[in-house]
Amino acid sequence: MVLTETLRKAQKLFPQKYAIVCGGKRWTYGEFCHRVNRLSHCLKGFGIKKDDKVAILHPNCHTFLEAYYAIPQIGAISVPINYRLSPREIAFILQDSESKILIVDSMFKNQIDPIRKEIRGIEKILWTGGAKEKVTDDSIDLNYEEVLQKADLSPLPEPPINGEDIAQIYYTSGTTGRPKGVMLSHKNVTTHALGTIAEIHLTDCDVWIHVAPLFHLADAWATWAVTWVGGTHVLVREFDAKVVLETIQREKVTLTNLIPTMLNLMVNHPDVGKFDYSSLRVLLSGGAPIAPEVVRKIVETFKCDYIQTYGMTETSPYLTLSILKEHLRKLSNEDQLRFKSKTGREFIGVELKVVNEQGKEVKKDEKEVGEIIVKGDIVTKGYWKLPEETKKSIKDGWLYTGDMAVIDEEGYVTIVDRKKDMILTGGENVYSTEVENVLYMHPAILECAVVGIPDPKWGEAVKGIAVLKPGQKATEQEIIQFCKEKMTHYKAPKSIDFIKALPRTGSGKIHKKGLRDKYWEGYEKKVH
């Protein structure tokens, strides 16, 4: 199977059905395919051939989806770029990936202009966003819509590609060093799409809202799964809690995947009670662990099913889903909530184990901690031009995730921390997620993060960093005491810092490394 089969199927079965809703405009699958074909012809006319790279630097928009389909349609490889990166980081990705074409929104002109001398490999820049003028050099800078209107819209012959060919290269955030390009094949992507269709019962009745950035697989995976069944894509350019709530009501959205921080801001928005969410059938959340208290609020607010997800770019992305087995649906609401808050059981397209340092599976007692390892057709072929990094991560066909977890007798795992985020205090291991879950129970806390900071007595001390809800007050000692009443004292934070907002990575996750680094300035950092 190849990625482009998903769109061909939708066009064949649902040509008159709305495929895309974006910025007040709507396109049927037939109209959308015409635009995709035009872009493919454009790229082919620029000399793009099989295995060439085309980069995308763009907010959520119909253009992003057009590029996602037009590029593989000629056998080329998509390189989505995090638009929150610095110009130098963007230049590195463009150079490292050997991209020849860049599709970019004009809002990022200030990020591209400073690096023009460094990206000589880029042969054409297609600008979107309404820019009519040629930005600099007529031979390089072109207007996306003008080029599209001049192009052929006829279907293209199927390129000589197969499932093992690379379809996309996603670069990791680079928060811990050099960004790594994760290679995903057509088989990786299509196998994952089929798995999600089966797991969450996607149909042509579904309306998906793209809120999380499309340069990240937390949302991008839905591009192919939703299209394959003839569902509708609704795009929100950037996250705004009220805009998302309004759009769910207006477009009768049925499901989406949001990162926990987005859901937390939505359920705590002052206008959350003003909108109709009756169209929603399921909300998925992934990208970071979520506190049970936040899950409770989500279920109470939106009155739909909730599924916790866990995945990685390296696995296309899903590895687990907290979908309840049939006999678990007979449990009390409180017990069901407990299972829904877990990281989940293994995804249909993957084999998963939790192993100790000796490589043996841990006991299914929710006490023994081990590392999650996985294998299957959704697992990456490796890292672009980094064979040694690939060997470190993939051993005997198993991908070592670096995520530490426990597992229960039902096969549901719960992530307790990243290896690098575990706090070693006084010889005891403290997992930041466990402490964060308690902090989220405090009525005044909107968001929080827990890190280890240097301590002369304990080696590391548990530090809580909290954002308070608007109009709420709380003292450091009050919150510390609150935690001590609900958990073992050595796990409770030794101190609390209050800040206005938590730093985030490009995908919207809380940037713990950035938080932790400021406390470790001048110290020799430990490596977990």
Query: What pLDDT shows up at residue 473?
Result: 95
Query: Which parts of 84-210 fold into alpha helices (H)?
Result: 87-97, 109-112, 144-150, 186-200
Q: What domains sit in the chain, N to C, each tagged with a CATH number?
A: 5-186 (3.40.50.12780), 239-418 (3.40.50.12780), 422-519 (3.30.300.30)
Spatial distance between the Cα atoms of 262 and 314, rounded to a whole number of angstroms: 23
Place of tokens 């994760």: 182
C-beta separation of 350 from 375 below 8 A: yes
Q: Are 526 and 423 in contact (CB under 8 A)?
A: no
* Other beta carbons less than 10 A from residue 119's beta carbon: 19
Query: What is the rounded CA–CA span in Å between residue 257 and residue 298?
Result: 13
Please state the pTM of the whole predicted model.
0.84
Helix (H, G, I), strand (E, B) or coil at 107: helix
Q: Could you give the maximum distance between any two Cα atoms of the chain, in Å?
A: 71
For 375-398, b/e burial (b = at least 16 CB within 10 A) is: bbbbbbbbbbebeeebeebbeeeb
Phi, psi values for residue 173, rounded to 5°: -65, -25
What pLDDT score does 528 carry? 34
pLDDT for the residue 318:
96
- The residues, ordered by sequence, that sit 6+ positions from 334 with a Cβ below 8 Å of its Cβ are none
Query: Distance between CA 202 and CA 218 in Å, rounded?
Result: 17
- 393 to 287, 358, 396, 520: CA distances (angstroms): 20, 16, 10, 27
User: What is the gyration radius of the CA atoms in the chain, in angstroms?
Assistant: 23
pLDDT of residue 416: 81
From the number of C-beta atoms within 10 Å of its C-beta (0-12, 13-18, 19+), residue 70 rates as buried
The dihedral region occupied by 262, where left means phi > 0, alpha psi between -120 and 50, and beta the remainder, is alpha
Tell me if 390 sits within 8 A of 382, measured CB to CB: yes
Query: What value, to the nearest 5°, has the Cα angle with vertex 173 and ends 289 and 193?
Result: 65
CA distance 110 to 132: 17
Q: Mean pLDDT in runs of 10 for the chain (528 residues)?
A: 94 98 96 97 96 98 98 97 89 97 96 94 93 58 95 87 96 68 97 98 98 93 98 96 98 94 91 98 84 88 95 95 96 92 94 96 95 97 95 95 93 83 80 90 95 86 95 96 91 95 81 87 55
Q: Which of 181, 232, 196 is nearest to 65 (CA)?
A: 232
CA 127/CA 15 separation, integer angstroms: 28
Please say whether the beta carbons of 346 and 375 come within 8 A.
Answer: no
